[in-house]
Structure 1
């Protein structure tokens, strides 16, 4: 009967500690209840717990602060609190090393008990300890003491093995919670850092957009005057040599404008949102213009630059993105001239079929090694010769992006004569293309007598409008700011208002809003923004304010004259209805 009673008590002890383990949030709380329950069950004098510092099982066991005992054992408690134990050292270290409970019958005769003197002075003679196990890993050691020697209790030791597994689950749960908390803090820190970087990136993006907007306006404004006045000069009675020089100004200015547009398109390229701008143009004229512009540079370095077009038996008008083809070809020609020694040749060869265009740039340079022919089309990748020649390694990557956007391919190899050859191929559409001498004549519609109000604060741009529109026979009136524009629009009827965006006293958008709010016939006057600020968000803002359309600077004559012709048609229809 006594054995059955003790067995029931041991089961009750295990259940008590299992319940405490399941309900405890921290190991200290579970260990405290376990110490009380075990001391009450065994009648032993005191007990305490050693754990790993910061839950790191590769460090020493240190005192946890969880203690059960009377004041007479205070000196032993303080000594235990000051000590740590390595694997195999002392009673805690032996339990750690073996992973099993350990019994010391008489501390005085134990050869591995560093606290023997203070234990004996405190009246402690026997000890046992057992591990809180996480699988086979020791998570903590619980240590108990008695005031007289005692032989091992095998039944108790087996019971403690069960209790150790229960307490180990508390340690494991606590460690997992600690790790989760640390991971959570780390994630919060990473999130906060990501938010900081996002805000910084957004600020940088806004700064870049603002910079590009200012750059666009500041470059387009004088470029508008250059191209506008050169276009007007083209209609004057010039000598053939003067016409050739003026055509060079127009061609170079147009190239600069396309380069500016490519720079302003950078945000869309970075966001993988770039689109090809397909239009009709004369391929042969464009290629001759590009090579003629680079011929003087080639001559300065002692290089001969030549061009030939093959496969074209008639007109050479095609539809494609002229800006991207031009940018790519210019880059290839520039590289060819740079790497060709004095006395060498650079040849631009174009082969046009009904649905495909192939362009080749052949040079007498050192060529590209076989193992670098794909790599050089990636950003910042260069051959050793390329690095010595300078540059950032972006030119060919931009070329590759341009041609792939057009659905084509680009590469480098050697021609049959072993000359270095960069080539590109892309689909094109061969079209019938007329190049009228005057964009206004191409409309075939009447514009004489149209009343046009132009709000423009820049004197050079006012002069450009004056000379460009003079052949159209329009009646021009100028306003130098938004206030003057509104006053002029309210003072007399106009068939068209051309409104600049950035002006002193009142900007063009506010002036547009006031014209639309005036009511009557004035509010219905066609208003087109004529501005260098032509980002997508700017255009949306102009249209939302009531603009009928947007014309960009530098002025594109076909677009401007098309607007004039539409206004002329509207004025003619109004006169016919009034009659």
Structure 2
């Protein structure tokens, strides 16, 4: 306080004390202003740091590729720090195993001055712990170099000095604790570490790591998708190759089988002895079974692709079982195994897919004979329960372990006993596919005493006898009638002979053409009531011959043309019908179907006569 007037203190002392007080107040005001200015500067810098982190975080969240986020981050950090140069490194092929390579993303206030430094950085790669990027990779933390010219672990020291670069820092883009990329910055003078800046970089590195992680995941997804597409393409190519192989195999087997069955059918009408008829019936039954098995095996590809369709038809089940028994009894006798049939069936025909029932039963019988030791017995059982048919095959083998009873019906799954007995492990899988297609069930269980009982049951219906279609006697060429004129295009001599013997009783006037070109010439030179057209022929195939005949006919006439072929897959049939065929007959020739076609041609012939 200033002393009151009248005080003993002299005026000079009073003035001196006042001046000291004023000086203290001035110092206090200056300190307060300095503190306020520093606080404002710190607040401003903190706001700038927050804005920097927010800007880079937004870019990282919105960027589809790390390059976009890195370019923005380099520019923003250089603007914030005043540092001149920034560049980004990523792992080669985006794989975290390294090495780190220049990503091509660069920011420079004077790019021409530092062209050499950039080119050298572009060519180098850094292993873990090598150079500034490698040190950041090894530590997983930001790293600061006060002057790269004096740092022993900085391979680019000389070009950095020529470019006027000294201080450097780098920080990682982190995916969790894993380094996903490294961002590197340079200043044109030496500088001590800035701890506050390094803390800020930690936050930025976590944000940039997100875009690197998304980029990696997209890359993995693309690689997985590409691999899946390649596998799918390979599977489709394999499927096409399998289909082509099956088509060729089918054709090559059906061609000789057509002769076997056709000639056997012709022999049935000959005056044979009882023994000869029995032998011929065995050949015919075995050939027909082979045909059905061929059809079923070819159809397995459709089962695998869920494209199989059941071929429903009426047949005598008891006769079928007797046929299977007679065919497999010699095999059983060779193995010293007794093969028996116990069938409790009414005298009636049933409706279901004969081929799949037969193939499934034959597979089970074959397996049973394979596993039953000499002196044992294999029993076939059959019974109808309302609209369900149940068939069983009981063997005298070692049986199936409880844990294996489900898996043996899967493709390529076998028990140890099954592997020892041989086979590919597909038989039971084919059986399961057949029965599933028919809406039934299949399984196995312990037999009474010894062995295993395999069973399946399927829905069936009792069918009325089928009215057979046949031409009982030849069509006599008289004044009122004339013989049916048929052109058969067939290149195989054996199949031509089959057509001759099958059609002889019908009194058909048969003309042959040995290739498609000859068939076209014959069809245009003469008139026919029916054309039977093979498909695979030399010179010109049947489909092209069909097309040329239809073009030549125009709308004036229409000769019935039925393809007679071993190539009878669904897509083949669709192609024939689209080309103008009236129908398709398959090889081996089925007499009822062939005679049915002939019968459709009789009425036009009578009208013409």
TM-score band w.r.t. shorter chain? 0.7 to 0.9
- Select the residue among 336, 355, 359 that pairs with 2:387: 355
- Give distance in 1, aligned partners of 2:548 and 2:199: 85
**Larger Rg belongs to:** 2
Aligned to 2:471: 440
Partner of 1:508: 542
2:588 aligned with 1:550: no
TM-score by length of 2: 0.74
For the pair 1:226 / 2:226, whether they are aligned, the reply is no
- Quick check: 2:383–2:389 contact (8 Å CA) kept in 1? yes
Between stretches 21-30 and 368-377, larger displacement belongs to 21-30
- Residue 423 of structure 1, CA deviation: 1.5
Q: Which runs of structure 2 are paired with 1:429-578 in the superposition (5 Å)?
A: 429-434=461-466, 439-441=470-472, 449-519=483-553, 523-575=557-609
Distance 1:62 1:432 in 2: 81
Distance 1:298 1:490, change over 3 A: same
1:91-106 map, 5 Å: none
SS of 2:254's partner is helix
State the SS of the aligned residue for 1:379: coil
The 3 A distance-change label for structure 1 pair 331 and 20 is same
Which residue number in structure 2 is paired with residue 410 of structure 1? Answer: 442
410, 415, 426: which is aligned to 1:378? 410
**After superposition, where does 1:189-208 map in structure 2 within 5 Å?**
189-208=223-242
For 1:136 and 1:287, locate their aligned partners in 2 and report how far apart those are by CA, in whole Å: 70
Q: 1:114 to 1:321 in 2, by over 3 A?
A: same
- Asked if the contact 1:306/1:347 (under 8 Å) is kept, the reply is yes
Q: 1:132 to 1:364 in 2, by over 3 A?
A: closer
Matched position secondary structure for 1:3: helix
Asked if the contact 1:500–1:531 (Cα under 8 Å) also holds between the matched residues in 2, the reply is yes
Which of 247, 258, 279 is the aligned partner of 2:313? 279
For residue 456 of structure 2, give the secondary structure of its aligned residue in structure 1. Answer: strand
* TM-score in terms of structure 1 length: 0.77
1:151-184 Cα distance to aligned partner (Å, 9 max, x none)? x9xxx97xx37x944x445433432222333333
Q: Is the 8 A contact 1:302 1:343 kept in 2?
A: yes
Distance 2:554 2:107 in 1: 90
User: Alpha-carbon deviation of 1:128?
Assistant: 14
> CA distance change for structure 1 residues 16 and 304 in 2, over 3 Å: closer, same or farther?
same
Q: 2: distance between equivalents of 1:443 and 1:279?
A: 29
Question: Closer, same or farther in 2 for the Cα pair 1:49/1:56, shift >3 Å?
Answer: farther
1:527-550: CA deviation from partner (whole Å, max 9, x where unpaired)? 111111111121111111111011
The answer on whether the counterparts of 1:440 and 1:558 sit within 8 Å (CA) in structure 2 is no
Question: 3-state SS of the aligned residue for 2:216?
Answer: helix
Query: Which 4+ runs in 1 deviate beyond 6 A?
Result: 46-53, 55-59, 61-68, 83-87, 127-149, 442-448
Pick which of 390-399 and 551-560 moved more: 390-399
Quick check: 136-145 or 222-231, which moved more? Answer: 136-145
- Contact 1:445 1:568 (8 Å CA) reproduced: no
Q: Gaps spanning 5+ residues in structure 2: where?
A: 1-32, 60-67, 110-128, 162-166
Report the more deviating stretch, 180-189 or 422-431. Answer: 180-189
Q: How many residues are treated as equivalent by the alignment?
A: 523
User: Structure 1 residue aligned with 2:270, among 236, 246, 257?
Assistant: 236
User: Any conservation in 2 of the 1:13–1:38 contact (CA below 8 Å)?
Assistant: no
CA distance in 2, matches of 1:508, 1:18: 81
CA–CA distance in structure 2, aligned partners of residues 58 and 520 of structure 1 = 72
* Distance in 1 separating the partners of 2:365 and 2:580: 46
TM-aligned CA deviation for residue 140 of structure 1:
8.3
Contact 2:441 2:456 in 1 (8 A): yes
Superposition map of 1:60-459 within 5 A? 82=131, 160=196, 164-165=199-200, 167-312=201-346, 315-434=347-466, 439-441=470-472, 449-459=483-493
Is the alpha carbon distance of 1:558 and 1:38 closer, same or farther for their aligned partners in structure 2, counting shifts above 3 Å? closer
Measure the CA separation in 1 of the matches of 2:511 and 2:171: 98
Q: Secondary structure at the match of 2:38?
A: helix
Q: CA deviation at 1:26?
A: 5.2
In the other structure, the counterpart of 1:110 is: none
